[in-house]
Structures are given as C-alpha cells and as structure tokens.
C-alpha cells in the first residue's frame, strides 16, 4: 500500500480522483491538500510515495510544488494534471521532474494507464530500497562479526559512525548445545521481550553469540536485572546458557577490545553452565586470581606426580583456601579445579570409572569447610594407597585423541557428550581441559575445522552447496551459508564464482 497526496484547490477534483482510485481498487492510501504550501507542510511530517498535483493553485502552484518536492523528496513520484494543455505547461512540468502530465477532464483509460506506470515505478523503487537495506544489514553484520572476533579488520572498517552518541554494552551468551544453529529468531524475540532495548545480534559459533545493546542511557545496571528473564526463557526452550554482561562503553572502535575482555574472563575463570555474570563485579582481580590458583594447581600436580601425599594434601588445603577468598565464581571454579584434581588422582592410580569420580567430587562439594574437603580428599588418597603404581596421563594426550576424532568425524553430528564418551571422561571435564590446553572451547574447534574444510570443497566445485553443508555436519543449509559468510566475507556460491573478500585474513 502506497500513499498518494492529491493537491487541488477544487474539492470536486480531489474527490473525483479519490473516487477513481477507490473504484479501480488501486493500492493507494489517499491524502488531500488545497495548495502547494499546505502540501509541503503535510510532507514534512507524513511520508508520501506519489504526488498528484494541479498546476494552477493559489499561494504556491503545482510546478513550484513539484520542484520543491523533487529537491527535498527525490523518491516521490510526481504527476501533474491541469486543464491547461499547452505545450509550455507540459515542458515546465517535465522540467520539474514530473513523471507524467494529465489533462482535465481526466480520461479514465489514460488515468489507469498512467497510474499503473507510476505504481510499477513505486514497486521498483521499493524493491531497490529493500535490496539496499539488506546489503546494508549484511555489511553491518559482517563488520560487527569481525569486531567481536578480531578477524580481518582494517582502518576502513572502523570509520562508520554507527551508534554515535550512544552508550554500548556487550552481552556474551554461551550455551551447552548448538542452540543458535536453529533458534536465532526465537532468541532475538526473547531479547526484545525481556529487555525492550535496541540491540544487534552477532552469532559467532553454533553455541555462542554476542549481543550489542545501545541506548542514550546507561545500560549495564538496567540490563543486569533482565538477565534472569532471558535465562529463564532459554531454559524453557531446553537450553542451559551462561550469560556474561560487560561494562558500558562508547564508540564502534572499542567493540573489539570489549569483546576480548569478555573472552578473557571466559578463559580465566570457569563458571556454571547456567551462570549469570557481571563484568563489573569480577573487576580486575580476575587475572591475579587465576594466576594464584594456577600456581597452586601446579604445585598440587607436582606433589601428585612425585608421590608425596603429605605435600599434596597441604597444598590442596592452601588451594581450597585460596579459592574461598574470591567471592566471584569461586564455588563453580572450585568445582572444576577439584574435579580436575580428583580426575588426575584417579587416573594416576589407573581408575577411569566416571561414576566413581562423580561420587568423589560430590562428596567434596557436599562439605561446608576447607577442613572437611581436605578430610574427604585424605580419605580418597588413603583408599588409593593399595592400588598399583601410579601411571600419570598427560591431558595433552587426551586432547590429541579428541582432535583425531574431530578430524575423522567432522561431517557427523558431533557433540561434547559423544566425544567425552569416546575418551572416557565426563563432558564437563573434557570441556574444561580442552579450553585450558587449546585456549578455545571444543565447539569452536569443530566449527573452525568444518568451515575451512567447507571452503576447500566449495573451491573444488565438485559438489552442490547443500551437499557440502551436509558433508560438514550441517543439516540447515541457511545456517551453513551464514557461518560461511561470517568466516570468509561471501556466501559459498559467491566464493565459488570467484568473489573474495580480500580483507579476510
């Protein structure tokens, strides 16, 4: 439906044209004005697609109105009609960028012909605007993806003036499964329902996304209260998710640094699958905290490797006390530090029963004091004294085994649970050590491998794009296309046809 503004100082003429529009069911919403001056005032506050104006009117005639309209609103289609059919009027009308010229009294057939022509032009213009908007949105998404991932950035990319004068805030969402591969629209609707703020959704991996909120006002304090609602809606949709909200900042050029800051927090501290984390509460203690813990963990490992139970237990006690000193994430970080510790102990003594390891960690976490935790660990250590000589297993060996599985089966629907079962450890422990050893989570590793395998297949040109998607483990071709474009700047088809984004590195 388009809007047409009919301008004539004679009401009977305006009503006559309105009658024809209604009679022939033209897709037009009609507005009226009595002269050029009131018409211009109307267009200042109301969008108009077609201007149909008489020539001879008081205050401002139709030709002057046409000239002003073309200068200020070049997309408006202009049609001039008048009882004065002289050639000079027609020439002046065309000079004012009128698309056509009708004589009074209007002939019905001619009116229908001209209106059909103008409506076709409106359709063409609307389609052009839609394409431009889509290209603009695609470029915007590409730029934001590169900013949060730090890939392929050049100076030209950060000269855009988006979000000028706005407060910005990044939310990082990590899911337990590949939620974003099939639920992007549902997730964006959740954000709208829960926050009411403007945002940009930036998918990075099937299990990970960033959300860039922007507003004239401060955001992090207001958004912090909304996280529980987002998390609850995700849980209702069968998705456990960890949400990490950053601090407020300004400027497009700072998005990359803020995204890296959130990634460092993810890497340095482990949190629960359903954690709600605020960067402002974690503060600058994160790096120091993680370094102190890792130093003690190294001492514990050394005592275990050298078979010194007394040193081992005293160091564990210091480790637990250190964990308890930090109020941010200490419980869940402790869970994985202790799980890692117990798993190493059991493997050192040749025990790989996941149920037994699980019982051990549950016993430790049921304790309320560091002394009680150390008591449980002492009991477990004592129970292991009669087992065969310890045989230590390096975590790197497990990671190499995982990488071999992924390399061989990247085209299958790989999951954390499936791979963990293949290497005889729990999914949470696998996720933890993989991130510790490689600096990235397992889903990212799998996705990176699949994308670069896909690029090679696309370049070879022997398979259909849909087949390549399936060969790389993606049943959803549209999501595969989106991931490919995020990685390489163009769609698989464009890449095959020789288009390249040279700024992708």
CA–CA dist 164, 491 (Å, integer): 30
Handedness of CA 45, 50, 54, 55 (dihedral sign): positive
Interacting residues of 216 by C-beta distance below 8 A, sequence separation 6+: 165, 166, 167
CA–CA dist 195, 226 (Å, integer): 6
Whole-prediction pTM value? 0.60
Helices of type H across 306-413: 309-325, 330-348, 354-365, 370-383, 395-409
Domains of the chain: 2-125 (3.40.50.2300), 166-281 (3.30.70.270), 285-383 (no CATH), 444-496 (1.10.10.60)
- How would you classify the pairing of strands 241-245 and 167-175? antiparallel
Q: Cα torsion at 359, 364, 365, 366 (round to 10°)?
A: 90
Contact call for residues 207 and 178 (beta carbons, < 8 A)? yes
Q: What 3-state class would DSSP assign to 441?
A: coil
Contact call for residues 152 and 501 (beta carbons, < 8 A)? yes
CA–CA dist 439, 39 (Å, integer): 64
CA–CA dist 245, 219 (Å, integer): 10
Tell which residue, 122, 78, 124, has the closest CA to residue 101: 78
Distances (CA, A) of 449 to 117, 181, 442, 444, 455: 53, 16, 11, 9, 10
Find the angle CA(462)-CA(463)-CA(467) to the nearest 5 degrees: 165
CA–CA dist 238, 177 (Å, integer): 10
Q: What is the pLDDT along the chain (505 residues), one digit of tens a residue?
A: 999 999 999 999 999 999 999 999 999 999 999 999 999 999 999 999 999 999 889 989 888 898 899 899 999 999 988 876 655 666 666 666 667 788 888 889 999 999 999 999 999 999 888 887 777 777 888 888 888 887 755 444 555 678 888 999 999 998 878 899 889 999 999 999 999 899 999 999 898 999 999 999 899 888 988 888 999 999 898 888 889 999 999 988 899 999 998 988 776 665 555 678 888 877 544 445 566 777 888 888 787 777 776 677 777 777 766 665 554 444 555 666 777 777 777 776 777 777 777 777 777 767 766 566 667 777 777 777 655 444 444 667 888 899 999 999 999 988 888 898 888 776 766 777 787 788 788 888 999 999 999 999 999 888 999 999 999 999 888 889 988 988 888 889 988 888 655 444 4
Helices of type H across 196-284: 220-224, 227-236, 255-268, 279-282
CA–CA dist 170, 211 (Å, integer): 6
Structure tokens at 365: 């976490």
Beta strands in 405-453 (DSSP E): none
Contact call for residues 370 and 321 (beta carbons, < 8 A)? yes
Q: Which class for 80: exposed (0-12), middle (13-18), buried (19 or more C-beta within 10 A)?
A: buried
């Amino acid at each position: 439906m388009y809007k047409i503004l009919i301008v004539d100082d004679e009401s009977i003429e305006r009503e006559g044209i309105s009658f024809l529009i209604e009679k022939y069911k033209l897709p037009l919403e009609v507005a009226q004005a009595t002269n050029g001056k009131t018409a211009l005032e109307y267009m200042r506050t109301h969008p108009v697609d077609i201007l149909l104006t008489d020539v001879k009117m008081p205050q401002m005639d139709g030709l002057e109105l046409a000239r002003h309209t073309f200068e200020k609103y070049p997309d408006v289609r202009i049609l001039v009609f008048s009882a004065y059919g002289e050639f000079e009027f027609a020439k002046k009308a065309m000079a004012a960028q009128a698309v056509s010229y009708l004589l009074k009294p209007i002939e019905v057939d001619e009116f229908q012909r001209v209106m059909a022509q103008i409506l076709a032009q409106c359709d063409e213009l609307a389609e052009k605007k839609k394409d431009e908007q889509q290209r603009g949105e695609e470029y915007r998404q590409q730029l934001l993806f590169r900013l949060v991932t730090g890939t392929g950035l050049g100076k030209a990319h950060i000269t855009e003036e988006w979000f000028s004068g706005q407060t910005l805030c990044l939310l990082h969402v990590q899911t337990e499964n590949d939620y974003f591969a099939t639920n992007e629209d549902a997730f964006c609707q959740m954000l709208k329902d829960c926050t009411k703020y403007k945002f940009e959704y930036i998918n990075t991996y099937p299990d990970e996304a960033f959300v860039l909120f922007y507003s004239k006002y401060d955001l992090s304090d207001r958004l912090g209260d909304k996280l529980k609602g987002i998390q609850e809606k995700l849980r209702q949709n069968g998705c456990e998710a960890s949400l990490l909200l950053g601090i407020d900042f300004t400027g497009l050029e700072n998005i990359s640094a803020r995204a890296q800051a959130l990634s460092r927090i993810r890497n340095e501290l482990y949190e629960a699958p359903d954690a709600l984390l605020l960067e402002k509460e974690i503060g600058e203690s994160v790096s120091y905290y993680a370094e102190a813990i890792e130093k003690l963990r190294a001492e514990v490992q050394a005592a275990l490797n050298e078979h010194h139970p007394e040193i081992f237990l005293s160091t564990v006690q210091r480790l637990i006390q250190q964990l308890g000193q930090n109020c941010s994430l200490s419980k869940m970080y402790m869970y994985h530090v202790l799980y890692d510790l117990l798993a190493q102990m059991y493997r050192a003594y040749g025990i790989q029963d996941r149920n037994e390891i699980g019982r051990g960690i549950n016993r430790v976490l049921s304790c309320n004091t560091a002394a009680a935790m150390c008591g449980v660990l002492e009991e477990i250590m004592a129970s292991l004294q009669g087992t065969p000589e310890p045989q230590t297993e390096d975590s790197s060996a497990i990671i190499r085994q995982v990488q071999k599985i992924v390399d061989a089966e990247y085209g299958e629907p790989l999951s954390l649970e499936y791979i963990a079962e293949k290497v005889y450890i729990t999914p949470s422990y696998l996720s933890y050590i993989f991130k510790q050893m490689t600096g990235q989570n397992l889903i990212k590793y799998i996705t990176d491998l699949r994308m670069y395998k896909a690029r090679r297949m696309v370049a070879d040109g022997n398979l259909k794009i849909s087949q390549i998607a399936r060969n790389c483990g993606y049943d959803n071709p549209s999501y595969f296309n989106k991931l490919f474009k995020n990685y390489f700047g163009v769609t698989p088809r464009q890449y095959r046809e020789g288009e390249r984004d040279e700024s992708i590195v």
